[in-house]
Amino acid sequence: MKPTIGILLAAAAFAVVALPLAAHAQKKGDPDRTALPIQEPAWPTIKELDARKVKPPPRFEVKAPKGAPNVVIVLIDDIGFGQPSTFGGAVAMPTLDRLAAAGLRYNQFHTTALCSPTRVALKYGRNHHSGNAGSVMEIATALPGNQGRIPNSVAPLAEMLRHNGYNTAAYGKWHETAPWEVSVSGPFDRWPTRQGFEKFYGFIGGETNQWAPLIYDGEKKIEPPRDPNYH
């Protein structure tokens, strides 16, 4: 079973990576992971005419390195770094404490005090202006660094993991796609399913009705279940 990266996208003020990716030394026979996507090896030319005497090459399949951990990122609206008990705050969060105890605590991440830019910086590993997210997507401009369009030169972390054999999924709030690109006609380049996530279930904008949310399954708008427990 492939390891997974699952992202619960509730907002951008606080994040914990429960299990960081470990460095894996490349061994003989391992695929070259320095360039993505990983290239299929060059198989020797088969000169035997009788197929019964030919041994086929092994099936090419990209897998995550042995022992690669699952990665879970949780983003929560309106919570500061110093609020949860995990980082010395007064709000008891025992589950978060246990996750942090089993992994690493990153305490030097720069937030922009805004939703979209911080999310882009975290999930793409770049300064938010490099991701064209100088502000929230709804007030993007025509000026470079704040156009609301993540450029192709910025590679998503989820895409890197997917090309390395991970299954990837995002759930909840997205808020990284410009409003004028949220329609049935696309373009879908900056939707979750084109930014490294094989599965997306959530809402694209910065907010939605909590009891009757505007939900997309991938790129398809769906009607949420009329179940009182759905919320």
Q: How many whole angstroms separate alpha carbon 91 and alpha carbon 67?
A: 34
Q: How many whole angstroms separate alpha carbon 200 and alpha carbon 215?
A: 10
163 is catalytic: no
Residue of 24, 115, 129, 163 marked active site: 115
128 is catalytic: no
Q: Give the predicted TM-score (pTM) of the model.
A: 0.82
* pLDDT classification of 10: cutoffs 50, 70, 90: very low
* CB-CB neighbours of 168 under 10 Å: 25
User: What's the whole-number mean pLDDT along residues 24-48?
Assistant: 83
Q: Any idea what the Cα angle at residue 172 is, between residues 158 and 169, rounded to 5°?
A: 30
Q: How many whole angstroms separate alpha carbon 75 and alpha carbon 212?
A: 21
Q: What is the pLDDT of residue 81?
A: 81
Residue of 128, 163, 175, 231 marked active site: 175
Instruction: Tell me the sheet residues that pair with 215.
Output: 222
Residue ranges of domains in the chain? 1-20+61-104+153-231
Mean pLDDT for the chain? 86
pLDDT, tens digit, 9 for 90 and up, residues 175-188: 999 999 998 888 99
Rg (CA), the chain: 21
Q: How many whole angstroms separate alpha carbon 131 and alpha carbon 152?
A: 9
The pair of structure tokens assigned to 142 is 């025509």
Q: What is the pLDDT of residue 16?
A: 38
pLDDT, tens digit, 9 for 90 and up, residues 130-183: 999 999 999 999 999 999 999 999 999 999 999 999 999 999 999 999 999 998
Percent residues over pLDDT 70 in the chain:
87
Q: Any idea what the Cα angle at residue 6 is, between residues 64 and 99, rounded to 5°?
A: 95
Report the sign of the C-alpha dihedral through residues 104, 108, 113, 115, in that order. negative
Q: How many whole angstroms separate alpha carbon 14 and alpha carbon 94?
A: 16
